[in-house]
C-alpha cells in the first residue's frame, strides 16, 4: 500500500494538468492555425469564444498576423473540470514589399469611392464571420493553382513610396483565364462582380469560421449558396481591382483573423 500511494498522487496530479484525449495539429505561429479534437462532451474556449465542435469533437482556431505569442485554450470536460492549455506561438518576421506605378485614384480614393469601399468591406466581413457547421475545415487543403509566388502573407507594403497596410494574401502569378480550383470543399458565401480593391471576388466557407477568399478574378464559375468540391474549378484568374498584372490573391481567414495560406497547404493531416 505504501508504494501505491505516491503513484496515485502522481496520477491525480497529472489528471488535473494533462489533457486526456486532446489532439492538436498545425502551426503554432503567427498566421498559423491549430486543428484539434477533444473527447465528446468537452467544451472548448479560445479568446472568450465558445468554439463550435463537430459531432466527433473536432475544432479549429487561428492566429492573426500579429497575434500575441502567449495564448491559452480552455477546456471544460464532461465532468465539469476546467483545464488550461497554454499555447506559445512562434513570432514571425515579415518581408517588406515595394510596389510602384499604382494609379492615383487607387492610392487616394475620393468620398464616393470610400463609401463604396466601406459597403464592400461590410459584405466581406459578414461572409467571413459565418460560423457554419460545414466540416471541411478539418480536411487537407490543396493549391488552387500552380504558379510563381509573387507576394507572400504578412509582407509590409510600400505603395508608390508610402507605407500601407500589410498584405494578407498569397499572390500566385498566372495568365488571365487560368482556372482556380477550390482548395477544399465548402459553400460559396460571397460572389461579387466587382469590388473597388479586389475586383471580382469569391469567398468559400469551409466551416467553423475557416474561409478562403479569391481576389482579382476575371470570371466566377459558381453562385452564392452553391456547394463546391475540393479541386472543382470555381473561377478564373484575372487582373480586376487594384493590381499591376494578372494573378490570384488567395486569402484564408478564421473569422476576422487572417491566416497564412502557405501554412494551411503544407499542413499534414
Q: Which is nearer to Zn ion, 53 or 248 (CB)?
A: 248
The Cβ-side half-sphere exposure at 31, using a 13 Å CA radius, reads 21
Which one of 13-21, 145-153, 155-163, 201-209 is the stretch in contact with Zn ion (CB under 5 A)? 145-153
**Least Cβ distance, residue 65 to Zn ion (angstroms):** 14
> In the complex with Zn ion, which residue's Cβ is closer, 109 or 151?
151
Longest dimension (CA), the chain: 82
- Stretches 36-44, 65-73, 146-154, 179-187: which one binds Zn ion (CB under 5 A)? 146-154
* Residue 43 grid cell: 467544451
171 part of the interface to Zn ion, by CB under 5 A? yes
By the rule CB under 5 A, 260 interacts with Zn ion: no
Helix ranges (DSSP H) in 39-144? 104-107, 111-128
User: Which of residues 87 and 239 has its CB atom nearest to Zn ion in the complex?
Assistant: 239
Torsion angle (degrees, nearest 10) of CA 127, 154, 181, 133 = -40
E strand map for 111-228: 148-151, 156-159, 162-163, 170-173, 179-181, 186-195, 199-207, 210-217, 219-220, 227-228
Q: Which stretch binds Zn ion (CB under 5 A): 47-55, 66-74, 118-126, 249-257?
A: 249-257
- For 55, left (φ over 0), alpha (ψ -120 to 50), or beta? alpha
Stretch that binds Zn ion, among 24-32, 76-84, 89-97, 161-169 (CB under 5 A): 161-169
Note whether 249 binds Zn ion by CB under 5 A: yes
Which residues are near Zn ion by CB under 5 A? 151, 169, 171, 249
Amino acid at each position: 500500500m505504501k508504494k501505491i500511494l505516491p503513484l496515485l498522487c502522481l496520477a491525480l496530479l497529472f489528471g488535473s494538468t494533462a489533457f486526456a484525449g486532446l489532439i492538436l495539429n498545425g502551426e503554432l505561429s503567427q498566421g498559423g492555425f491549430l486543428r484539434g479534437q477533444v473527447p465528446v462532451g468537452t467544451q472548448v474556449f479560445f479568446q472568450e469564444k465558445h468554439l463550435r465542435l463537430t459531432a466527433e469533437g473536432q475544432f479549429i482556431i487561428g492566429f492573426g498576423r500579429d497575434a500575441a505569442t502567449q495564448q491559452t485554450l480552455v477546456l471544460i470536460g464532461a465532468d465539469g473540470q476546467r483545464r488550461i492549455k497554454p499555447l506559445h506561438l512562434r513570432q514571425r518576421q515579415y518581408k517588406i514589399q515595394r510596389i510602384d506605378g499604382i494609379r492615383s485614384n487607387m492610392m487616394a480614393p475620393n468620398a464616393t469611392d470610400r463609401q463604396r469601399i466601406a459597403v464592400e468591406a461590410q459584405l466581406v466581413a459578414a461572409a467571413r464571420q459565418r460560423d457554419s457547421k460545414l466540416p471541411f475545415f478539418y480536411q487537407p487543403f490543396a493549391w488552387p493553382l500552380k504558379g510563381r509566388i509573387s507576394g507572400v502573407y504578412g509582407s509590409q507594403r510600400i505603395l508608390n513610396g508610402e507605407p500601407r497596410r500589410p498584405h494578407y494574401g498569397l499572390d500566385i502569378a498566372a495568365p488571365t483565364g487560368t482556372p482556380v480550383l477550390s482548395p477544399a470543399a465548402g459553400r460559396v458565401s460571397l460572389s461579387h462582380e466587382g469590388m473597388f480593391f479586389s475586383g471580382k471576388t469569391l469567398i468559400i466557407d469551409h466551416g467553423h469560421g475557416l474561409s478562403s477568399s479569391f481576389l482579382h478574378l476575371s470570371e466566377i464559375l459558381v453562385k452564392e449558396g452553391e456547394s463546391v468540391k475540393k479541386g472543382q474549378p470555381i473561377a478564373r484568374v484575372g487582373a480586376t481591382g487594384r493590381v499591376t498584372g494578372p494573378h490570384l490573391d488567395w486569402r484564408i481567414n478564421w473569422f476576422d483573423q487572417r491566416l497564412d495560406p502557405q501554412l494551411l497547404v503544407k499542413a499534414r493531416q
